[in-house]
Structure 1
Amino acid sequence: MTKKKSKAQILKRREKKTERGVAFTLLKWTLVFFCGSGIIAAAGLSGLYFYISRDLPKIISLKDYTPPIVTSVFSDDGRKIGEFYNERRIVIPLSEMPDNLKNAVVAAEDSRFREHPGIDLLSIFRAFVKNLKAGAIVQGGSTITQQVTKSFFLTPARTYERKLKEAILAYRIDQTFTKDEILYLYLNQIYLGHGAYGVEAASENYFGKHAREMNLAECSLLAGLPQAPSRYSPFRNPELARQRQIYVLNRMKADGYITNLEATDAINTVLDIKPRKNWFIERVPCYTEHVRRYVEEKYGRDVLYTQGLKIYTAVNIELQKIARQEVVKGVRELDRRQGYRGVVKHLAGLEVEAFCAQVATTMDVDSVEPGVVYQAVVTAVNDREAVVRVGNVTGVIPAEDITWARHPDVEKAYWADKVDSPKKVFDTGDVVLVKAVSPGEKKALRFTLEQTPLVEAALLSIEAETGQVKAMIGGRDYLDSQFNRAIQSRRQPGSAFKPVIFAAALDKGYTPATVIIDSPVVFKDHTRNFVWKPHNYKEKFYGPTLMREALIKSRNVVTVKILQDIGIDYVINYARKLGVTAKINRDLSISLGSSGMSLVELVNVYSVFSNLGYRIDPVFITRIEDRFGKVIESSELKREKIMDMTTAYMMTSMLESVVKSGTGWRVKALDRPAAGKTGTTNNLHDAWFMGYTPRYTTGVWVGFDNERSLGNGETGSRAASPIWLGYMKGALEGRPVRTFNVPEGIVFVKIDAKTGLLPSGASQETLFECFKDGTAPTMKTPEPGIATDTDDLYKFGI
C-alpha cells in the first residue's frame, strides 16, 4: 500500500515537474518576446527620435535673442515722432513686466508652467479627453515652452511630425533655460493683435502706457489675448474681451495669485481703451518720411524695419506745429482770394433727410467739434445768413463770413468785388463745406464757409549756427499728398536767386554803392532766331540805380547787366559753392531765377549770408544708434568758409533793406533784425520768401503743382512772406532779440543816395553805406555845372 502511494506520488511529482517546465518555458519565451519587443520598440523609438531630431535647430540660438524690433525716431528733445517696423515689437526685460501680468499669463495659458519639464502630459491627456467628448478640437495641451518652440523654430502646420519636434525642443529648452528666461522669451515674442508683438507694444496699443504701468485689470485683459488675439480684441469685440478677462481673473484666483476682492475690483475697473495714436501722421510726417528714405537708402530696408534703430533728429515739435499752422493759414487765405469754386453738390427735397442721417451716423455724435470741417446742407437762405444743417445740428453762416465767395477770376484776384448776400452764393439744398467757430446770436451755432485749397506750400527752417533743420513742411496736407515740396520739388526761384548774383558781384569788386543804369537792353540769339528783352515787374526803367536800391526794388534789368558783366560761368560756380546742386542753365535768364531748384538748396544759400560766409550743410539726423545703443552715425558740425565775411555781411545789410523798405516790407512786423528776399516767377507760377534772423534761416514757397498762375498780384510778398512772418513770430516768441554781427574789415561811410559818391553841396539825400575796407568812394558828387566823366560815376553807361 505504501509502495503504491509512493509510485502515485512520484507520478504526481513528475506531472507537476512537467507542468512547471512548460510554465517556465512559456514564461521564458514570454519574457524573450517582451524583451525583444521592447528592444525593437526602443530601437524604433530611438530611430524615430534620431529621425525627427536630425535637423532640429540649435536651441542655443535663444541665448542671443535678437528678434525683429521697432525702429524709433525722436525729435530734438527726445520725444518719439515715428516708428518703422515689420513686426511692432519692443523688447523689455522681465523686471519691467508687472507680477500681475506674468501671473495672469501663466494662469491663463499654462497653470503648471513652473512644475512640468516643458511638456505637460497631464494637460495633454485632459485636452485629449475633452476633445474626444466634443468630437472636435476645443482645447489644446501646449505649454508656454511649446509655444516658444513653435514661435521661434517651427511652422504652425498641424502634423504629427511637427508636434513631436515641438515636444523634443520644448524639453530641451526647459533643460537649458530657467523658467524666467522662457517666460521672458514668450512675453516678448507673442502676437497680441493689431500689429503688436510682445507685451510692451500691446500695452502701448491698447492702453497708451508702458507695460510696467499696467494695473491688474489691464494685465488680465492682455493675458487673455494670446489664445485668439483677433477674437478677443477689445477694439473689435469688447464684450468677448471682457468675458475672457473675467476667465483669466478667475484662473488667477483659483491658483492663489489674487484674492476674491482683488478679482472683483479688477472686474469692476473701467478701462480706457483707445486706438494707439499714429505719431507718424500726427506730429511730423513729412520730416519723418524724409528720414526714412535716407536711412533705407544708406543702411537697407532690413536694417530699418527689423533692427530696432534709434534715430535722433533735429526737428523741434513746437516749431513744426507753428510751421504747419502758418502754412495752412497762408494757403487758406490765398485760396479765398481766388474766389469760391462752388458747392459740393445739390440735393433735391427728398434727399436732404437721408443725407443728414448719413452725416449724423458718420459723426457718431449729436454735436460738432470746433475747427473740424463738415459737409452741411443749406436749409434756408436770405440776405443776412444761410441756415445750414450738419447731421442733426443746425447753425448759420452770416453774410459777413461769405464776402470772399465771389466767382473765381484769376485775372481780377484779390481786388475783385466782394459778395454782400448769401443768396448770391447758395440755394436751398446745396451741400457745402463748413467749420464751426462759435455760438452766434441767440446762442445759435455759427459756421464759416470752407473749401479745400488747391494751392500748395512748403516751408523749411534751419538753425543758423548748427545747420539743424528745425521744421519742414512739404505740403498743405500730408494725407492728401506725400510729395515733399521742400526737398523733392524743383521750381524756378525767380528773384529769390538774385542775392547769389549780387554776392558774386561783391566779390568781383562791386559795392552796395555801385551805380548801374536801369535802361532797356536787347539780347539776340541768331542761332535760335530768338530776341530777349528783359523788363522790370512794372514795365518801367529807372535810370542810374545804386546796387543796394536794385536789390531792394528787385530790378530785373540791373541784375541781368550785372550777370553779363561778371560772367555766367563765374556765377554758376559761385552758386555751386553756396550749395546749389540743381542744374543751372548757362544763359542770362538765370539772373531772373529761370533754373529750377529746391527749397532746401535756397535755404542753404541764405544760411551762408547768415553765418558770415560759412556753409553748414543742413542736418536732419543728429545721431543713429543700433539696438544695443552703439552709435553708428552722428552729425558733426562742419563749417566750410566759402565767402569772405565782409561780403556776407554786406549781403545781409542789403537784404535787411529789402525788409525795411523793399518788397519784403511785410516782414517789418516781426519787429526784430531780419533780412530776406522775395521771389516771383513769370506768370506768377511761384511765390517765394527767403529770409533769416541771427537765429533761424527760413524759406517759404507757394504755388500749384500743375504750375498754373497764382493770380494777379500774388507775388512772393503777398503770398509767401505772410507765412514766413507768422512762423518766425511763433519761433522767436519769448526769445531775446539778437542783432547781426559786423565783422572786421567793414567800414561805414556817408554817401550820396543818388550817385553813390561822397556827399557834396549838390547832394539832396545821404545815407550810411557799408564797404569793405579800402573800397569806399573817394570822389565827391559833382557840383552842378561842373563837367565830369560819367564813366567815373556809373558801372554801365547809358
Structure 2
Amino acid sequence: MSARRERQRRRRHRSGASRIVFITLGVLVACLAIGGLSAVGYVVGIASSAPDLKTLKPQDPGRNSVVFAADGKRLGVIQNDILRFPINSSKMPQTVRDATVAIEDKRFYSHKGVDFEGIIRAAFKNASSGETVQGGSTLTMQLVRTLYISRERTFKRKVREAKLAEELENVHPGRRGKEWILTKYINSVPYGTVGGQTAVGIQAAARIYFDKSADELELHEAAMLAGLPQAPSAYNPFREPGRAMGRRNDVLRNMAQEGFIQPETAAEAVARPLGVKASRYFREKRESFFFDYVTDELIAEYGIKDVRSGGLRIKTTIDLDLQDKARDAIAKSLSFGGAPSSAIVTIDPSNGYIRAMASSSKYKDSKFNLAADGKRQPGSAFKIMALVAAVDRGINPTAISYPSKRLKFTAPGYGPIDVNCYGGRCSGGSKNLVRGTLSSDNSVYTQLALDLGPDKVVKAARGLGIKSKLNGYPSETLGGLTRCCSPLEMANAYATIASGGWRAKPKAITRVRFPDGKVKDLSKPRRHKAFDSAAMYEVTKILDQNVPGGTGARAQLPKCPAAGKTGTTDKNTDAWFVGFTPKLATSVWVGFPKGRVPMGPLFNGGPVDGGTFPAEIWGNYMKAASSKCGQFRKPDHAFRAKPFQGKYATGRASTGAGVEDTRNFNNGAVPSPSPSPVPSPEEGTTGDPGSDPAPAPPPAPAPLDDGDADSGGGTPAPGD
C-alpha cells in the first residue's frame, strides 16, 4: 500500500471516530435539553396547577377566649389545647422581629418570596453534611405553608408553596408588605408545647415560657423564642435547656453578623441564663365556680369550638368586691373545725344580673358549684311560694286565718296529712298569714296550700323563677321537695318579689366581643311581668317585719331595710336565709355538701337552723354589700283584695286593706323591731320555727306537670 493511500485511510478513520463522538455528544445534549425542558415543563405544570392565592381561604389557627368581671378585670382564659393571642405590630418588639429574620431568613427583605440563592446554599450544605441541616424555605413560604396549604413533605407541595409565596409578596409589596408578612408569621407559627398546650404566636410563647407579655421580652428572651419554631420539641427549654441555650446563642450571633445588634451586646446576652419561668397564666382563674358557669352558658349559645378557640372577649356581671365580702362573711361564721359549708348568690332585682356567686368550697377540692347547682331542700323559705300564690289570688294576708295546731287527717286527693310545728308543738289559737309567716307556722301554711291547691303553689313558684322539678304535693309548701332548690334559684325567686313582680332571667354575661370587632350586647334584661306589684308589696311588708320581729333577727341591717325568710329542713340538714334589700336579693345556704348530714350542736351549743348561721352570714354580708340601698318602692296602686272562702280557714277572707306598713318607706327611717306580732317562746323564737319534718309525699296522686316557666300570670316583656 502506498504511503498516500495509507494517509487517506487514516484520515477517514479519524473522521469517522470524530463523527461518532460528535453524534454521541449531540444525542446527550439533546437528551439533557429534552430532560431539562421536561423538568421545567413539569415544574411549570405543577405551579400552574396550584390554585390562585385569591381563591384560598387562610386557615385560622384560632385564638383563646377570655372572661372578664364587671369591672373589666380578667377572670381567666377558657381552656384549649392551642394557646394563641395575636398582637399588633406596634406591640411586637423589634428584637423579636430581628431575631426571627436573623435565624430563619437572612435575605427576607431582599427576595420576592423565594430565595433561590438560599435554596442552592442549603442544598450544598445538606449534601456535604449528609443530612438536612438547613432549609431553603423563606419566611414567606413558611407562612404560606401555615396558612394556605398542607404540611406534607413532597416536591409538588414545595413548588406550589414557592408559587403562592411569590403571589403573597405581590399582594403585600414593598417594605410595608414585608412587615405585614413578618407580623403574620410571628403571630401564627408554633413555638412549642408545654403541659399539653401548644403556644402559637409570640404572645402565647412569651407567657408560657417567661410569664410575661411579648412587649416585655428582653433581648436574650426574644432570641430564645425566635430559635424555637424550626424544632420546638428539640429546643424546648424546660426539657432540653442545653440545646435551647445553644440555639439561643446561635440566634444572638446571627443577629450580630447581620448588623441587628452590636457584637458586645450579643456577648452580654449570651452570658445570660435562659431565665425561663413556668407560668400558670393560661390555667389560673379567678372565681372558678362562676367562671365555669359562664363557660357553660357560652358553649350552650355558641358551641364548644367557638368558645374555646374563637377569640371571644366576654364581659360578665360578677362583682369581685361582693365576692370577697361574701367569702369574708362565710369565714367569719364558719371558720371552726368541722364547720358546715355555705353558698351565697346575689342578684340585682332590677335586671337579673348575678352579682355574687360564692361558696366556702375550694375549687381544687371539688369542681361542683354549690351556689348554682347544689339542689337542696329549702325548708320554710319555700313557704313564700304559697304566700305569693295567696296574694296573687287576691287573698288579704291580714284577713284570713288558720288554726295553729297539729294536723292529722286524710286530705281528699292527697292522702294522709301529718304535720306538726317546729319543736313538736304548735301555739294554738288562730293566726292570719302575717303571724303565720313571722312564726313560720307549718300548720297554717299546710292548710293554706290545701285551700289554694298545691298546683297553685307550683304555678307561683314557676312565676317566681323556680326551675327545679315540682310535683304539687302539699308538703312542698313546707320545703319538702325531692330535688330543689339551688341558691341561685332561691335568690332569683326572692328577687322577683323585690322587683315588684318582674321575673328576670338570671344573667351572667353582658357583652361578647368577637375577633372581627363585632360586639353582641347582652346587657338588656330578659324580664317577664309575672305578678302584680301591689300583691308583691304585701309580701315585702310581711318579710320586712320578719327580719326584726320574726325568725330572721340576726339578718337585721342597721341602715337599710331588709326583708327575708328563714328555712330549715328535717333533722337540720339544710339551713337557709333568703331575703332582699331594695337593690339586692341574696340567698344563703348552710349545710354539708355530701349527703344530708344533721347539723347538731354547732351554733352556740344548739342546732343549726335558718335563724342561726344563715341569717348571721346574710346580715354580715349585706351590711358590707349594701352601702346605698334606698327604700322599698311602693306600688302606684293599692292591693285589690278579693273574697276567699277556704275549707280550712276560720272565717271568710275580707276585701279590706292589706298589710300595714311597719316601716316608713317614704323617709327611709328604720324603726326598732316591730312589737307585733311576735311569736311566743314556745314557737321557737331563737331558731327557725318553720323547720319541720317534711311529710313524705303521698303515693296516691299522680305528679302534676311541672308547668310552663312563664305561668305566673301577666304578659311577657319584650325579649322573654
What TM-score bracket applies, with the shorter chain setting the length?
Answer: 0.7 to 0.9
| Pick aligned residue for 1:296 from 292, 295, 299 | 299
Report what 2:686 is aligned to: none
Report what 2:634 is aligned to: 742
Query: 2:122 and 2:511 mapped to 1: Cα distance?
Result: 53
**Contact 1:599/1:699 (8 A) holds in 2:** yes
Query: 2:124 and 2:349 mapped to 1: Cα distance?
Result: 74
| Pick aligned residue for 1:691 from 572, 579, 582 | 579
Q: Deviations over 1:546-590 (max 9, x none)?
A: 422221221111111222222222222222221122222222112
Report what 1:41 is aligned to: 36
Is 2:323 the partner of 1:307?
A: no
Query: 2:560 and 2:48 mapped to 1: Cα distance?
Result: 77
Query: 2:151 and 2:335 mapped to 1: Cα distance?
Result: 54
Relative to the length of structure 2, the TM-score reads 0.77
Is 2:257 the partner of 1:258?
A: no
Indicate the RMSD between aligned Cα atoms, in angstroms: 3.7
Is 2:564 the partner of 1:676?
A: yes
Superposed displacement of residue 267, structure 1: 5.0
User: Quick one: which amino acid aligns to residue 710 of structure 1?
Assistant: M
Query: 2:284 and 2:327 mapped to 1: Cα distance?
Result: 13
**Contact 1:57/1:153 (8 A) holds in 2:** no
Is 2:409 the partner of 1:523?
A: yes
User: Quick one: which amino acid aligns to residue 423 of structure 2?
Assistant: K
Report what 2:692 is aligned to: none
| Pick aligned residue for 1:89 from 59, 65, 84 | 84
Relative to the length of structure 1, the TM-score reads 0.70
Report what 2:453 is aligned to: 567
Superposed displacement of residue 487, structure 1: 2.8
Distance change (3 Å), C-alpha of 1:175 and 1:22: farther
Query: 1:55 and 1:524 mapped to 2: Cα distance?
Result: 87
Superposed displacement of residue 274, structure 1: 3.6
Query: 2:246 and 2:333 mapped to 1: Cα distance?
Result: 52
**Contact 1:656/1:675 (8 A) holds in 2:** yes
Superposed displacement of residue 236, structure 1: 4.7
User: Quick one: which amino acid aligns to residue 391 of structure 2?
Assistant: L
SS in structure 2 of the partner of residue 499 of structure 1? helix
Q: Deviations over 1:107-132 (max 9, x none)?
A: 12222222334344444454455545
Distance change (3 Å), C-alpha of 1:203 and 1:727: farther
SS in structure 1 of the partner of residue 556 of structure 2? helix
Report what 1:470 is aligned to: 355
Report what 1:551 is aligned to: 437
Unpaired runs of at least 5, structure 2? 602-606, 640-650, 654-658, 665-720
SS in structure 1 of the partner of residue 623 of structure 2? helix
Report what 1:357 is aligned to: none
Query: 1:70 and 1:544 mapped to 2: Cα distance?
Result: 64
SS in structure 1 of the partner of residue 422 of structure 2? coil
Name whichever of 229-238 and 459-468 sits farther off. 229-238
Query: 1:62 and 1:284 mapped to 2: Cα distance?
Result: 42
Is 2:477 the partner of 1:591?
A: yes
Report what 2:643 is aligned to: none
Query: 2:342 and 2:50 mapped to 1: Cα distance?
Result: 59
Q: If you compute each CA radius of gyration, which structure gives the higher value, 1 or 2?
A: 1
Query: 1:151 and 1:181 mapped to 2: Cα distance?
Result: 15
Distance change (3 Å), C-alpha of 1:240 and 1:30: closer
Superposed displacement of residue 208, structure 1: 4.1
Distance change (3 Å), C-alpha of 1:667 and 1:281: farther
Report what 2:108 is aligned to: 113
Is 2:623 the partner of 1:729?
A: yes
Report what 1:604 is aligned to: 492
Report what 1:183 is aligned to: 182
Query: 1:666 and 1:61 mapped to 2: Cα distance?
Result: 71
| Pick aligned residue for 1:648 from 511, 536, 547 | 536
Superposed displacement of residue 211, structure 1: 2.4
In the TM superposition, what are the counterparts of 1:417-496 in structure 2 within 5 Å? 455-473=340-358, 476-496=361-381
Is 2:383 the partner of 1:498?
A: yes
Superposed displacement of residue 660, structure 1: 0.8
User: Quick one: which amino acid aligns to residue 603 of structure 1?
Assistant: A
| Pick aligned residue for 1:212 from 210, 215, 218 | 215
Query: 2:300 and 2:391 mapped to 1: Cα distance?
Result: 40
Is 2:605 the partner of 1:720?
A: no
Q: 1 or 2 for the larger relative contact order (CA 8 Å, sep ≥6)?
A: 2
Query: 1:622 and 1:686 mapped to 2: Cα distance?
Result: 33
Paired residues in the alignment total 626
Query: 2:594 and 2:231 mapped to 1: Cα distance?
Result: 48
Query: 1:291 and 1:61 mapped to 2: Cα distance?
Result: 38
User: Quick one: which amino acid aligns to residue 501 of structure 2?
Assistant: G
Unpaired runs of at least 5, structure 1? 1-7, 338-454, 748-754, 758-765, 772-798
Q: Deviations over 1:200-237 (max 9, x none)?
A: 22223334443234343432232222233344444455
Is 2:142 the partner of 1:147?
A: yes
Report what 1:629 is aligned to: 517
User: Quick one: which amino acid aligns to residue 60 of structure 1?
Assistant: K
SS in structure 2 of the partner of residue 522 of structure 1? strand
Query: 1:676 and 1:549 mapped to 2: Cα distance?
Result: 15
**Contact 1:328/1:476 (8 A) holds in 2:** no
User: Quick one: which amino acid aligns to residue 315 of structure 1?
Assistant: I
Name whichever of 680-689 and 165-174 sits farther off. 165-174
Distance change (3 Å), C-alpha of 1:57 and 1:491: farther
**Contact 2:245/2:274 (8 A) holds in 1:** no
Is 2:106 the partner of 1:103?
A: no
Superposed displacement of residue 468, structure 1: 0.8
